[in-house]
Chains A and B, each alone.
Chain A
């Protein structure tokens, strides 16, 4: 029993970091550009699909699988990030003054990317081997080693992003734009560049999450659909625009879900965890770490 509880909690912990990674990108883009990016889940999917495609293409190469996977982790997220930068410039920038239209444009993008992948990647469910086989003993059970490594890498990436935001010039710019766009413009901050880079970073984070989970989930075109809304939930429970809040909320949600999964079916655990988070929102509508959203005209 205790082993099962621990097992489920660990699962929740691992997935919590993945969701946090996705939510962080979403939150970053929302905070800086005030865009609710519905296509964010598609970038997560692109990360997983990209890793799958790359590893398939490299299957002839004799290098160890772990090396190839590491290569995917290094190559795929920046490529997806680049796509994000291009999309921001071409599609979102002209619409930035109209929040509702940006939501719709990103939704259109989601449909196109998802269906495009569906066409390019026909067939049934695709799976990838784990780059780190083996497991660690856990009270009589074995916990997969890769899951732990995954959580570690995700946490590391989150830490790096935080450092990036707080220690580099770009980070200062991004935070300035988030606080006050007009003032940032007046101070000579290259706001368009900040927009582009923020979207690039956000999509790259989603893609990184996608690459990381590719070995432990079914890689398919629709895989970003529901995790997107979960990331939404995490963002709003954590407090819109709050990066710390998103991480805390993601871990909380998945840990609660993992714990509940000890006693009820996984779907029911998920529903209950989401309901609990919803109840949390009723108590604190502005989220755990958020200020109430300023009134908009």
Chain B
């Protein structure tokens, strides 16, 4: 077969595209690092929550958006991370002598609870992953919801450990910057720590989803048969996604417990997983920025509405979800990018090609809606494909 030589030019393209992206990321992180110091404690706290819950949503998106698995049990790993950190913090607090030297005490007091939370949530996610991914696509939704119910009920049944609905009150993180200490009303220097850790995790997730793992995840999401035929162990890929997501959720949970001075069993509830779903879907599933964006928008909305009309938030969320599902399934990010592309096309006609995003037929809809429509039209091709789908599904 006549093998033509590879042309070097196109290989350079992704790299040249990465540069403005990197600049943008640095700009956002820089802003997030600088702006809060000029804000009041309340706004700082809001930004902090956006970062932590944004990380949670992103970790959810690794499972949902990238691997196509809808987990209603993501809250379990968040909750384990939160309680792992909380218990460690309490243990250290009660054992530490009040006048202990700040240097090593500070490092241990922050690092140990974080590691404990990450370890507890991460390990249990790793342990459960192979079992849960075996349940099939619909079964997975239900099975993960059940894990959330079990974790929640178990936590409720051990009030002595978890504090039940009332929860545990935690001491503030033993962290100080100069004379500025972390307090319960004002995260203060804890904000910097959270920003650093969240940025690092986002970067790590970014590296993972852009590498072979990301490719395998998306392939498995859209066509398991194809993934298998190309040598990918589908169950292993799914379990990996689940473990990666679970570890991120555990970290977010640990950060949450360490910065909010309080943690209750509510963190295990499946509705917390559903929050991640809402934010991710609204922001743009299957992207890195989407979940962070969606979380920020919804937390700001909730904050704004809680002053005006508190019961409005859930209804608004419901309507926003329906609108997202029906009108822009790619989320806010997809909408914004689409508008930007439209504007670019208008400004420089003829310079655009088709992109992956435009042809995407709704996520985790492996077969694609286009084929469904073709089948509806009764085209010979469409009917054949529909028949093929039937063979696969039943």
Contacts and interface: CB of A to CB of B under 8 A. Distances in A.
Give yes or no for direct A-B contact (beta carbon below 8 Å): yes
Interface in A235-281: 235-236, 240, 264-265, 267-268, 270-272, 274-275, 278, 281
A232 B153 contact: no
Given A115-B318, A275-B150, A229 B145 contact: yes
Given A99-B137, A179-B394, A180-B394, A297 B223 contact: yes
A293 interface: yes
Contact of B150 (A111, A183, A278): A278
A64 interface: no
Contact of B131 (A110, A275, A282): A282
B142 A297 contact: no
A124 interface: no
B156 interface: yes
B115 interface: no
B329 interface: yes
A133 interface: no
A107 interface: yes
B146 A229 contact: yes
Contact of A297 (B315, B329, B386, B389): B389
A139 interface: no
Interface range, B side: 35 or more
B380 to A, nearest CB: 15
Contacts of A104: 277, 281, 321, 324-325
A271 B315 contact: no
A296 B135 contact: no
Nearest to A293: B136
Interface range, A side: 35 or more
B136 A296 contact: yes
Name which of A36, A110, A268, A272 has the most chain B CB atoms within 10 A of its CB.
A36
Interface of A: 30, 34, 36, 91, 94-95, 97-101, 103-105, 107-112, 114-116, 118-119, 179-183, 225-226, 229-230, 232-233, 235-236, 240, 264-265, 267-268, 270-272, 274-275, 278, 281-282, 285, 292-297
Given A104-B277, A108-B325, A292-B136, 4 more contacts: A99-B137, A99-B364, A182-B390, A233-B146
29 contacts: A30-B138, A91-B322, A98-B369, A99-B138, A100-B68, A101-B325, A104-B325, A105-B322, A107-B278, A107-B321, A111-B321, A115-B314, A116-B315, A179-B394, A182-B387, A232-B145, A232-B149, A236-B135, A240-B139, A240-B142, A267-B157, A270-B153, A270-B157, A274-B146, A275-B150, A285-B131, A293-B139, A294-B393, A297-B366
